[in-house]
Structure 1
Amino acid sequence: MRLLLDTHVLMWVLDEAYRIGPDLTLLLEDPNTEVMVRAVSVWEIAIKCALGRGDFRHRPEAIAAAARSMGF
Structure 2
Amino acid sequence: MNYLLDTHIILWTLFDPGKLSESIKEILVDSEKQKFVSGINLWEISIKYSLGKLDLGNKNPDELLITIKDSGFRITEIPHQILSAYYKLPKKENHKDPFDRMLIWQSIESGFTLLSHDSKLEQYIPNGLTLVTNRI
What TM-score comes out, normalization by structure 2 length? 0.50
Task: State the 4+ residue runs in structure 1 displaced beyond 2 angstroms.
Answer: none
Task: Say whether the 8 Å CA contact 1:5–1:36 is kept in structure 2.
Answer: yes
1:63 maps to which residue?
Answer: 64
* Greater C-alpha radius of gyration: 2
* Aligned residue type for 1:41: N
Note the residue ranges of structure 1 that are not aligned, 5 or more in a row.
none
State yes or no: 1:12 paired with 2:12: yes
Deviations 1:18-49 (A, max 9, x none): 01001111111111010000011111111111
Give the secondary structure class of the aligned counterpart of 2:3: strand
1:49 maps to which residue?
Answer: 49
What TM-score comes out, normalization by structure 1 length? 0.90
Task: Measure, in 2, the Cα distance between the counterparts of 1:13 and 1:60.
Answer: 15
Shift of 1:17: 0.2
* Aligned residue type for 2:9: V
Give the secondary structure class of the aligned counterpart of 1:37: strand
State percent identity of aligned pairs.
30
Shift of 1:71: 1.0
Shift of 1:62: 2.1
Give the secondary structure class of the aligned counterpart of 1:35: strand
In the comparison of the two structures, how many residue pairs are matched?
Answer: 70
Give the secondary structure class of the aligned counterpart of 1:31: coil
